[in-house]
Amino acid sequence: MNILVTGGAGYIGSHTCVALLEAGHTVMVADNLCNSQAETLERVKQITGREITFYQIDVTDEAATNTVFASQSIDGVIHFAGLKAVGESVAKPLVYYYNNLVSTMVLAKACQKYGVKRFVFSSSATVYGENQVPFVESMPLLPSTNPYGESKAISERMLTDIAKANPDWSVALLRYFNPVGAHASGLIGEVPTGIPNNIMPYITQVAKGKLDKLRVFGNDYPTVDGTGVRDYIHVLDLAEGHVTALDKLTKGVHVYNLGTGHGISVLQLVKAFEEANDLHLPYEITARRPGDIAECYADASKAKRDWGWTAKRDLVDMCRDAWRFESVSKEPSP
Ligand code: NAD
Ligand code: UDP
């Protein structure tokens, strides 16, 4: 299939481009590079030995987006392009709502205009809010405490309504848990700007000596050891989930969790990282981070049952691959 990947130069998008190309799909990327580098796409080509057509455009720009649809024969869209920093979304709600909602509307409109009927959307486990773990797709969505999470929930609702009104559309709303790790080549991985918000890039930067120690946000949660529990999933497993979604997607709107189904605490992650990479990771316990929930992990059975998809890589792979990218690779520069 000919797939348009928005946000394809980003962290999850670039790994998904690799998985799509390796599965034999043709890939076009639309990305404005607001949080990524064009060099990453060169590395995707290097890994796969395949070409990518790249459009440096903002997908909130309707005219520019329509130009891509007019010039290409597109079988499906995977829409990764979005802003994702939770804290920043609280400070700049309009920027987040505008980018994340308008991009989805512009793309859906272009799909309607040019007869593209497959749409895969990057949602997030954050839409479950403080539901009881494990999170199941059928749970009612709870209001998020931040505009980022709201933008995902609203996009899901918009796409659900659009799919209902267009019964020949096939829409997948994929709720990601916590993607970590990198491609085994060390050529592509997560490249956060500034001090990382997410734990894995923070850990790798501590291990590298760029940061002094990890701050563990709270050890008084009702969890196995008091620290926050998350469902970490290797980014390549997540990427392969998108290829499966494209293959298996049927008409209508379908919601799937992409997680492992296993909850890992912060201290368990620290220990796993130390053991996988044979190094010591300094940390201190600090106060809880506002807005964090105690536990977030998937019921991952639906994707397995319907699509035969499960995450194959374990925590050791995630820790090794994340560290390889930080320690031996040269980060792409703008
Ligand atoms: P990322 O920032 O690495 O990638 C997003 C890409 O989209 C970047 O390359 C950026 O330049 C591009 N982009 C943003 N707005 C754009 C626009 N208007 N037009 C064109 N390009 C634009 O983020 P990621 O971690 O790869 O996340 C991809 C998607 O998955 C996002 O929608 C994010 O909200 C969602 N998601 C991420 C996580 C996570 O933990 N990384 C978890 C759940 C959901
Ligand atoms: N976390 C932490 N120190 C950090 C970053 C994160 O202790 O520097 C914890 C955080 O409280 C949560 C887990 O690690 O329990 C995952 O946080 P992350 O920001 O990576 O993902 P999210 O909060 O989106 O699940």
Whether 148 is catalytic: yes
Mean pLDDT of the chain: 96
Q: How many C-beta atoms lie closer than 10 Å to residue 322's C-beta?
A: 26
Ligand closest to Cα of 227 equals 2
- The whole-number average pLDDT for the span 14-19 is 98
- The three-state (H, E, C) secondary structure of the chain, written as one string: CEEEEECCCCHHHHHHHHHHHHCCCEEEEECCCCCCCHHHHHHHHHHHCCCCEEECCCCCCHHHHHHHHHHCCCCEEEECCCCCCHHHHHHCHHHHHHHHHHHHHHHHHHHHHHCCCEEEEEEEHHHHCCCCCCECCCCCCCCCCCHHHHHHHHHHHHHHHHHHHCCCCEEEEEEECEEECCCCCCCCCCCCCCCCCCHHHHHHHHHHCCCCCEEEECCCCCCCCCCCEECEEEHHHHHHHHHHHHHHCCCEEEEEEECCCCCEEHHHHHHHHHHHHCCCCCEEEECCCCCCCCEECECCHHHHHHHCCCCCCCHHHHHHHHHHHHHHCCCCCC
Looking up tokens 């793309």, which residue turns up? Answer: 107
By the 10 Å C-beta count (0-12 exposed, 13-18 middle, 19+ buried), 245 is classed as buried
pLDDT in tens, 300-326: 999 999 999 999 999 999 999 999 999
Return the best residue to mutate from 18, 34, 92, 126 for the ligand 1 pocket (most ligand atoms within 8 A of CB). 34
pLDDT of residue 142: 87
- The whole-number average pLDDT for the span 227-242 is 98
Catalytic residue among 55, 96, 148, 256: 148
Is the per-residue pLDDT at 275 higher than 70?
yes
Cα of 322 vs its chain's centroid, Å = 15
152 band by pLDDT with thresholds 50, 70 and 90: very high
220 band by pLDDT with thresholds 50, 70 and 90: very high
Is the per-residue pLDDT at 165 higher than 70?
yes
Is the per-residue pLDDT at 216 higher than 60?
yes
- Ligand 1: distance of its center to the CA of 163 in Å? 23
Looking up tokens 């998350």, which residue turns up? Answer: 230
Task: Kindly state if the Cβ of 217 falls inside 6 Å of ligand 2.
Answer: yes
Please identify, by atom number, the ligand 1 atom nearest to the C-alpha of residue 79: 32
Please identify, by atom number, the ligand 1 atom nearest to the C-alpha of residue 198: 40
Domain ranges of the chain: 2-180+232-258, 199-230+262-328
| Percentage of the residues of the chain whose pLDDT score is greater than 70 | 98
- Ligand 1: distance of its center to the CA of 233 in Å? 16
pLDDT of residue 2: 98
Return the best residue to mutate from 144, 199, 205, 224 for the ligand 2 pocket (most ligand atoms within 8 A of CB). 199
Q: Which residues contact 81 (CB under 8 A, 6 or more apart)?
A: 6, 7, 10, 13, 30, 31, 32, 59, 103
pLDDT of residue 90: 93
233 band by pLDDT with thresholds 50, 70 and 90: very high
Please identify, by atom number, the ligand 1 atom nearest to the C-alpha of residue 148: 34
- Ligand 2: distance of its center to the CA of 332 in Å? 25
Omega before 134 cis (within 30°)? yes
pLDDT of residue 42: 98
Looking up tokens 């059928």, which residue turns up? Answer: 138
CATH class name, domain 2-180+232-258? alpha beta
Q: Is the pTM of this model over 0.75?
A: yes
CA-to-CA distance for 296 and 283, rounded, in angstroms? 22
Token representation of residue 306: 């319907």
- Domain 199-230+262-328 maps to which CATH number in 3.90.226.10, 3.40.640.10, 3.40.50.10860, 3.90.25.10? 3.90.25.10
Q: What is the C-alpha R_g of the chain?
A: 19
Looking up tokens 């899901």, which residue turns up? Answer: 156
pLDDT of residue 310: 98
Token representation of residue 112: 């309607």
Is the per-residue pLDDT at 333 higher than 80?
no
Is the per-residue pLDDT at 88 higher than 80?
yes
CA-to-CA distance for 277 and 321, rounded, in angstroms? 10
Query: What are the phi and psi torsion angles at 30 (to 5°)?
Result: -120, 115
pLDDT of residue 145: 80
- The whole-number average pLDDT for the span 234-261 is 98
Show the CA angle centred on residue 266, arms to residues 260 and 268, nearest 5°. Answer: 75
pLDDT of residue 328: 82
pLDDT of residue 108: 98
Is the per-residue pLDDT at 60 higher than 60?
yes
183 band by pLDDT with thresholds 50, 70 and 90: very high
Range in 86-90, 106-110, 167-171, 254-258 the model is least confident about: 86-90
Task: Kindly state if the Cβ of 124 falls inside 6 Å of ligand 2.
Answer: no
pLDDT of residue 334: 55
Q: Which residues contact 154 (CB under 8 A, 6 or more apart)?
A: 97, 101
By the 10 Å C-beta count (0-12 exposed, 13-18 middle, 19+ buried), 273 is classed as buried
